[in-house]
A and B are shown apart, each in its own frame.
Chain A
Amino acid sequence: MIETLNTSVAVLILALAIFTIATRELFAAAVGFIAYGLLLTLVWVQLHGLDVALIEGAVGGGLTGVLVIASAARLRDTPATAAVRLGASARAAAAIVAGVVAAALAACVLALPDPASTLAPQVAANIAATGVGNPITAVLLAFRAIDTLLEVIVLIFALIGVWSLAPDGVWGGRPGPRYEADPNGILAYFARILPPIGIIVGIYIFWVGADHPGGKFQGATFLAAMWLLAARAGLTDAPPISRVWLRIVLVAGPMVFVAIGLAGAVTAGAFLAYPAGYAKPLILAIEWALMPSLALTLALLMAGAPQRPGMP
């Protein structure tokens, strides 16, 4: 019974991916990609990875989908690009290459070692020292904290990359166009009703991530999405990226993380090691500091490069 469900979901996902790749219209491909991302959440639930399901639905389906739909809408009316469609022989060669790669991966899947090698026993043995109940949170913030730190820094690098695409005249200006919506219309109404609920849900998901599926990445995505909704409805505007408070909030999270890591190097013997008994408060401090930075980073990544001058 479960196998029927898994097989149908797998076939559906494959069909959606083929549709996204093969359809002629750009906008249809973007919409198909959003549906594909949302259906992947179901795959994660079936694979018993609830934290991954949350982040896939929020970031993979939601944020990436908004990004892709917005750019597809802007590029939809471009004049026919001098697009050189590959000839039949090149397409056949591409199909052969893709088929070989897929077959190699399938062979690896079928040849996985038995019994499965796993790190779950080690995690279970050491999780009591961290003070958190959710093993994913323990791995993210205690056992492999260096990965999380580098990930946050990579996010900031990507943001700097996006900012560097600003034209000279609007350097340091406001990202994205000014969105106007009828203040009595339904979008403005929706953007007034949903953000309070969304902010509560986001903070709840962040808070409950210590012991249940959830965490700061999922919660930060909620906060970023609520801000995005308010901005698209014209209720708020993107701040100029040259503002000092914006840059302070962006780097505060990673700075606290690095500071705690260096303190761990001094007191516990290794970078990002936690002294015995202080693991839970330090983890909480890192999460509380990272949450606003992450939300702001994700929101600014969605907003894009500056397009308007900063001074009003």
Chain B
Amino acid sequence: MSATTIFGLCAAALVGVGLFGLIVDPQPLRKILAFNVIGSGVFVLFGAVARRGAAEGMGGDPVPQALLITGIVVAFSATALAVALLLRLFNVTGSVTLSSDAPHEERLDGGNAWRRRP
């Protein structure tokens, strides 16, 4: 079993595990972690396929690897935005649930001053 096969199968399993975690866990930060696991599984899959393209003295096909560098940085920026949204949700409502019928204190002025609903 070459490195491609081993890590390719591992990547497929990672995507499955991440997808299960994304669907099942209600906490938004856990969903973000699961999404990152899916993303890294896809990246490893890319890298395993790139390894197969080794030729001309290079260890792997450089074009997928360059795209992976782009992908990892963009995935980080998406995670940063998602975490900022989550923290803003936490500041505004005081809890981090995504279900709309959960009890929460509503800020009357959109989160600029804390005011508890009587």
- On whether A95 and B20 interact (CB within 8 A), knowing A37-B40, A116-B52, A155-B77, the answer reads yes
Name which residue of chain B comes closest to A113, CB basis. Answer: B52
Whether the Cβ atoms of B85 and A48 lie closer than 8 Å is no
Contact residues in B for A244 (Cβ distance below 8 Å): none
Contacts of B88 in A (CB 8 A): 165, 305
B80 in contact with A67 (CB, 8 Å): yes
Q: Is B108 an interface residue (CB 8 A)?
A: no
CA distance A161 to B72 in the complex (A): 19
Distance from A241 Cβ to chain B, minimum over Cβ atoms (Å): 13
Inter-chain contact B95/A78, CB cutoff 8 Å: yes
Q: How far is the CA of A91 from the CA of B21 in the complex (A)?
A: 10
Q: How far is the CA of A49 from the CA of B62 in the complex (A)?
A: 8
Whether the Cβ atoms of A136 and B17 lie closer than 8 Å is no
Given known pairs A82-B97, A97-B19, A112-B52, the reply for A120 and B61 (CB within 8 Å) is yes
Instruction: Report A51-74 residues with CB < 8 Å from chain B CB.
Output: 51-52, 55-56, 59-60, 63-64, 67-68, 71-72, 74
> A267 at interface (Cβ–Cβ under 8 A)?
no
**Complex contact B81–A94 (CB within 8 A):** no
Q: Which residue of B lies closest to A37 (CB)?
A: B40
Q: How far is the CA of A50 from the CA of B51 in the complex (A)?
A: 12
Interface membership of chain B positions 69-95, coded 1 if the CB is closer than 8 angstroms to chain A and 0 otherwise: 110111111111101111110110011
Q: Mark A229-247, 1 if CB is under 8 A from B, else 0.
A: 0000000000000000000
B61-A29 in contact (CB<8A): no
Among the listed B10, B19, B110, B112, which residue makes an inter-chain contact with A14, where contact means beta carbons less than 8 Å apart?
A: B10
Q: Are B70's CB and A123's CB within 8 A?
A: no
Complex Cα distance, B78 from A175, in Å, reads 18
A81 an interface residue at 8 Å Cβ cutoff?
yes
A312 at the B interface (CB under 8 A): no
What 4 pairs between A and B have smallest CB-CB spacing? A48-B59, A102-B16, A118-B53, A109-B8
B111 to A21, Cβ gap below 8 A?
A: no
Q: Is the CB of A6 within 8 A of B6?
A: yes
Residues of B within 8 A of A165 (CB): 84-85, 88
Q: Name the distance in Å between B18's Cβ and chain A's nearest Cβ.
A: 7
Chain A residues with Cβ below 8 Å from B57 are 124
Determine if B53 and A117 form an interchain contact, defined as CB atoms under 8 angstroms apart. Answer: yes
Contact A48 B66 (CB under 8 A): no
Q: Flag if B66 contacts A144 (CB, 8 Å).
A: yes
Q: Which of A20, A46, A50 contacts B7 (CB 8 A)?
A: A46
Q: Determine whether the beta carbon of B84 is less than 8 Å from that of A305.
A: yes
Inter-subunit contact B59/A98 (CB<8 Å): no
Complex Cα gap A68–B35 (Å): 13
Q: What separation, in Å, do the CA atoms of A51 and B73 have in the docked complex?
A: 13
21 A-B residue contacts at CB 8 Å?
A17-B14, A17-B17, A17-B18, A21-B20, A21-B21, A43-B44, A43-B47, A47-B7, A47-B59, A60-B40, A99-B16, A101-B15, A102-B13, A102-B19, A105-B16, A106-B12, A109-B45, A168-B110, A169-B112, A298-B76, A301-B76
Q: Which residues of A contact B12 (CB under 8 A)?
A: 102-103, 105-106, 108-109
User: Given A6-B6, A20-B37, A105-B11, is A52 in contact with B65 using a C-beta cutoff of 8 Å?
Assistant: yes
Task: Report the bound CA distance from A211 to B103 in whole Å.
Answer: 58
B62 touches A135 (CB 8 A): yes
Contact B99 A82 (CB under 8 A): yes
Pick the interface stretch among A146-154, A249-257, A277-285: A146-154
Using known A-B contacts A21-B20, A60-B72, A98-B19, determine if residue A161 contacts B81 with beta carbons closer than 8 Å.
yes
Q: Is the beta-carbon distance between B60 and A47 smaller than 8 angstroms?
A: yes
